[in-house]
Amino acid sequence: MAIRNPSVPATLWSGARTGAFHLVAGVLAVLFLFPLLWAVLNSLKSPTEANASPPTFLPSSLSLGNYETLGKYGAGIAAYTGNSLLVALVTVGGTVVFSVLAGYGFSRYEFRGKNLTFVTILAILMVPYATMLLPLYLLLGVLGLQDSLIGLGLVLVMFQLPFGVLIMRNAFDSIPRELEEAAFLDGAGALGALRHVSLRIVTPGVVTVGLFAFLASWNEFLAPLIFLNTGDKFTLPLMLVSVREGTFGQIDFGALQAGIVVAMVPCVALYLVLNRYYVTGLLNGALRG
């Protein structure tokens, strides 16, 4: 008489679960990627076909007319992209520098009011975003930074600091102090130990903070709308809102989709390049403490 193998049902069940997981993941991937594919295909249609109703999925012929529209609009797509890039660089640079220094200080030093100061920084996350724009607008006027890309970048740095400080403090907390003490014995100071020892270990956390700061500043709409008045200084999101208006108030879907493609390329490229750092830094920095 044949003996039944008890491991067969478990193997079949495991295979079924794996297949179901991949099926659901595949469906979700299609749902998330479909809007991106739709934007790319529409941007490559002729302006007339892109604005046709009902819309078609595949372009009858490839055309760069929508990108030419962007290039001729206002100061040109290159100028607006450069404005967004400048704001993003200021935001990323300021956020990373201040977050690293503040996170290291909160992690390694004891001082009066340490916990209260840290909680106060995190409390900024609970303040409604729009309520701070008017006071900041008046403050930038006092500093002479109204209608300035640098001023806008500094404002975005402030909004990114609470998350950045939290990530970096927890990232430094995960590093054994003995590593820095060994550097101190070799004659390194606090900044030397930070630069040559700790900073190299928390690189994933630094990348995570920088990536979040870049995505937030690159896609920000409300703050540039409030703080920028000159059309030539508009960032890419503001330019896309302006360019979508076609003849007689109709939306120029082709130019809008082309602008969306231009705006999403840097975000997708950075995420793909820095993905492994991002995942590691988010886990190590946010889940330890």
| Distance between CA atoms of residues 258 and 252, nearest Å | 10
Q: Which two tokens stand for residue 150?
A: 């640098």
Contact 149, 80 (CB under 8 A): no
Q: Which two tokens stand for residue 271?
A: 């995420």
Q: Write down the pLDDT at residue 97.
A: 94
Each of the 289 residues of the chain gets a pLDDT tens digit; together they read 444 455 556 677 777 788 888 899 899 988 988 888 888 888 888 888 877 777 777 888 888 888 888 888 888 888 999 999 999 999 999 999 999 999 998 988 888 888 899 998 888 888 888 888 888 989 998 988 888 999 999 999 999 999 999 999 988 888 888 777 777 777 777 777 777 778 888 888 898 899 999 999 999 999 999 999 888 899 999 988 887 665 556 777 888 888 889 999 998 888 888 777 666 655 554 444 4
Q: How many CB atoms lie within 10 A of CB 122?
A: 14
Q: Which residue has the tokens 């709409």?
A: 221
- Is the N-terminal amide bond of 54 cis, ω within 30° of 0? yes
Q: pTM for this one? A: 0.82
Q: How many CA atoms lie less than 13 Å away from 117 in the CB half-sphere? A: 12
Q: Write down the pLDDT at residue 220.
A: 92
Fold type of domain 70-286: MetI-like fold (1.10.3720)
Round the CA-based radius of gyration of the chain to a whole number and report it.
25
| Distance between CA atoms of residues 201 and 28, nearest Å | 34
